[in-house]
Amino acid sequence: MTPFRRPLAIALLLLSAPFAANAGDGGDGDEPASSISWDVSAVSDYLFRGVSQTDEKATAQASLTWTSASGVYVGGFASGVDFGTDSPDVEVDYFVGYGFDVSDKVNLDILLNRYTYPGASEAAYNELITTATFADSWALSVGYTNDVWGSSTDGWYYGLSHDWSLPNDFTLSANVGRSVFRDSAVAEDYTDWGVGVSRSFGPAEVSLGYYGVDGTGRDNFGNLADNRVLLSVKFAR
Tell which wins on pLDDT, 29 or 212.
Answer: 212
Q: How far apart are CA 12 and CA 2, in angstroms?
A: 6
Query: What pLDDT, in 10s, does the model give residues 110-124?
Result: 999 999 999 999 999
Q: Taking all residues of the chain, what is their mean pLDDT, rounded to a whole number?
A: 89
Tell which wins on pLDDT, 45 or 20.
Answer: 45
> Is residue 155, in this structure, part of any structural domain at all?
yes
> Is residue 6, in this structure, part of any structural domain at all?
no
Query: What pLDDT, in 10s, does the model give residues 198-229?
Result: 999 999 999 999 999 999 999 999 999 999 99
**194 is in which domain, residue-wise?**
35-236
At 30 the pLDDT is 58
> Is residue 28, in this structure, part of any structural domain at all?
no
At 33 the pLDDT is 84
Query: What pLDDT, in 10s, does the model give residues 49-86?
Result: 999 999 999 999 999 999 999 999 999 999 999 998 88
Asked whether 2 and 49 are in contact (CB, 8 A), the reply is: no
At 85 the pLDDT is 83
Distance of CA 83 to the CA centre of its chain: 18
CATH number where 44 lies: 2.40.160.40
> Is residue 10, in this structure, part of any structural domain at all?
no
Element (H, E) at 215: helix 215-221
Tell which wins on pLDDT, 19 or 141.
Answer: 141
Asked whether 26 and 34 are in contact (CB, 8 A), the reply is: no
Whether pLDDT at 23 is above 50: no
Q: Which of 100, 174, 102, 109 is nearest to 141 (CA)?
A: 109
Q: What is the pTM of this model?
A: 0.86
Task: For the chain, list the strands marked E by DSSP.
Answer: 35-43, 47-48, 51-52, 59-67, 72-80, 90-101, 106-116, 125-134, 138-145, 155-165, 171-181, 190-201, 204-213, 228-236
The count of structural domains within the chain is 1
**N-terminal to C-terminal alpha carbon distance within the chain:** 25
> Is residue 5, in this structure, part of any structural domain at all?
no
> Is residue 4, in this structure, part of any structural domain at all?
no
> Is residue 29, in this structure, part of any structural domain at all?
no
Asked whether 20 and 107 are in contact (CB, 8 A), the reply is: no
Query: What pLDDT, in 10s, does the model give residues 124-175?
Result: 999 999 999 999 999 999 999 999 999 999 999 999 999 999 999 999 999 9
> Is residue 12, in this structure, part of any structural domain at all?
no
